[in-house]
Amino acid sequence: MNKNIDPVCGKRINVNKAHIVIHFEGEDYLLCCPQCQKEFETQPRKYARKKQKNKGR
């Protein structure tokens, strides 16, 4: 099963059940719901950086 993390709320998401996948600066971001989508779309760089920080863990 392919899983990822919503960069807005931190929820684990099955890639096949994501509300939406947004492609931003060469990366795909899985979002769980319309609220997280709206938040990501208003501040994409904030959440893109958050994902980059988590990559090193």
Q: How do the domains of the chain map onto residue ranges? A: 3-55
pLDDT for 50: 72
For residue 25 the two structure tokens come to 């600066």
Mean pLDDT of 39-46: 96
pLDDT for 49: 78
Mean pLDDT of 16-39: 96
pLDDT for 1: 41
For residue 16 the two structure tokens come to 């096949």
Round to whole Å and give the CA distance between 5 and 7: 6
- pTM of the predicted structure, to 2 decimals: 0.80
pLDDT-above-90 percentage for the chain: 77
